[in-house]
Structures are given as C-alpha cells and as structure tokens.
Homo-oligomer: A and B are copies of this chain.
Amino acid sequence: MGPTDASASVAAVSGSPRTREDVVTAASKLFASRGFHGTSMRDLGDELGMLGSSLYSHVRGKNELLVEVIARGTRFFNGVVAEAEAAGGSAKDRLRRLVSGHVQVVVGHIDESRTFLFESRFLPAADRGRIIEMRDDYEAAYRQAIRDGIDEGSFTADIDPATTAIFILSILNALIRWYRPSGDRDADAIGAEMWAFIENGVVRSER
C-alpha cells in the first residue's frame, strides 16, 4: 500500500494539493453512491488521497459538505428555471424547456442531483428550510407553466396544475434512478421521450 497502490484514486497519485472544490466534488460522489450517513470523513479522505482529519483544513465539518453539495444542486436547477423564463415564447415552449433543462442537469451533474434528491432530509435544521423553499419555487414554475398553457389553450382545462406538476416532476426526478451514462440515449433523446409522454400519455388518440 502506498502512492502507487492500484486501488487508490487518481487524485491520490496526483501530487497537486486539493482545493475546497475538489473536496465538495468528492463528497457529492460519495454521498450520491453511499448516502450521507453511509460516508465517513475517512472514506472521503481515501477518495482524495489524504486522511479524514486533513479535510478539516478545507471545510468546517461533514454537515457543511452536505450543505455545499446540495447548494450546488440547487444552483443548477434554479438556472434552468431562469433560462426557461428568460427565453420567452409560449407556455408550452417554456414547459418543454423546463423539462429538457432538468434532464440536462441530471445527466450533466448526476452526483449533485442524487444527493439533492436523496440526502436533503439529512440537512441541518437551519438549512433545511431554505432548500424546501427552493424546491417549492421550482415546483411553482411548473405549476405556472401549466396554468398558462391552459389559459393559452394548448393544454386541456380538465387537469389540475398542482397535481400535474407533481406528475411531471416525478418523471423527471426518477431519472436519477435509471440514468446510466453508458446508455444509448443522450439528454435530448431522453427529454424528447419524456415530452411525448407528458403531452399525450399512452392513448395518443390524435394530435
């Protein structure tokens, strides 16, 4: 066992010092795969080629790392809403942009997305409120797009915007469970399949 040990991570054999960013990235990877409570500071140190105790020169504690990883996730998802709203166009276009943007975030930042969705409940009480609020806002963007779509006549009036938003986000959030980078479909293809289902369901009697 030593610096050339084959089981060591790539980071462990590279000589350059780690940054706070590196630590957060490694944390997002381990929190995503083993869970927050299933990851020890020593595990995290191993991943970075250092001791668990050395991490405390980069971060104040384990909880801070969880907050940081999840904050990253929220920034990505908030960015999608901002872009979709800035793009203008019809409510239908906006909803389609929300969907494809969400897929792109998950595909591009799978570890942060997984941690955000699976580990937020372990956030320190002081930070949990902020995250829940953000998630509510995110859902509200979907509700609004659906409401506007009904007003514009492109969506049927006999759906409930709140419930429909939950269903659409259910499909989107589940992507963190089944997405595999080795799969044959890219983000655009996945987004298109989701959109077809969201628009028409399984019956698709006509368009």
Q: Interface residues, chain A, CB within 8 Å of chain B?
A: 35, 37-38, 118, 121-122, 146, 149, 154-156, 158-160, 163-164, 166-167, 169-171, 173-174, 178, 193-194, 196-207
Q: List 23 A-B contacts (CB under 8 A).
A: A35-B35, A35-B37, A35-B121, A37-B37, A37-B38, A146-B202, A149-B202, A155-B202, A155-B203, A156-B200, A156-B202, A159-B197, A159-B204, A160-B193, A166-B178, A167-B194, A199-B203, A200-B200, A200-B201, A201-B201, A205-B206, A205-B207, A206-B206
- Are B197 and A203 in contact (CB-based, < 8 A)? no
What's the nearest-Cβ distance from chain B to residue A80, in Å? 19
* Seed contacts A156-B205, A159-B197, A205-B207; 14 additional CB < 8 Å A-B pairs: A35-B121, A149-B202, A155-B202, A159-B196, A159-B202, A164-B202, A166-B174, A166-B178, A167-B197, A170-B171, A199-B203, A200-B200, A201-B201, A205-B206
The residues of B that contact A166 with a CB separation of less than 8 Å are 174, 178
Q: Distance in Å from the Cβ of A170 to the closest Cβ of chain B?
A: 3
Contact residues in B for A171 (Cβ distance below 8 Å): 167, 170-171
A95: nearest chain-B partner, CB-CB = B202
Query: Once bound together, how far apart are the Cα atoms of A112 and B169, in whole Å?
Result: 23
Q: Are A193 and B163 in contact (CB under 8 A)?
A: yes
Nearest B residue to A149 via CB reads B202
Nearest chain-B residue to A39 (Cβ)? Answer: B37
**A148 nearest CB across to chain B (Å):** 12
* Bound: A170/B102 CA distance, A: 15
Most chain B CB inside 10 Å of its own CB: which residue of A164, A173, A197: A197
| Cα-based distance from A118 to B158 in the complex (angstroms) | 33
In the bound complex, residues from chain B placing their C-beta under 8 Å from that of A121 are 35
CA distance A20 to B87 in the complex (A): 58
In the complex, what residues of B have CB within 8 A of residue A156's CB? 200, 202-205
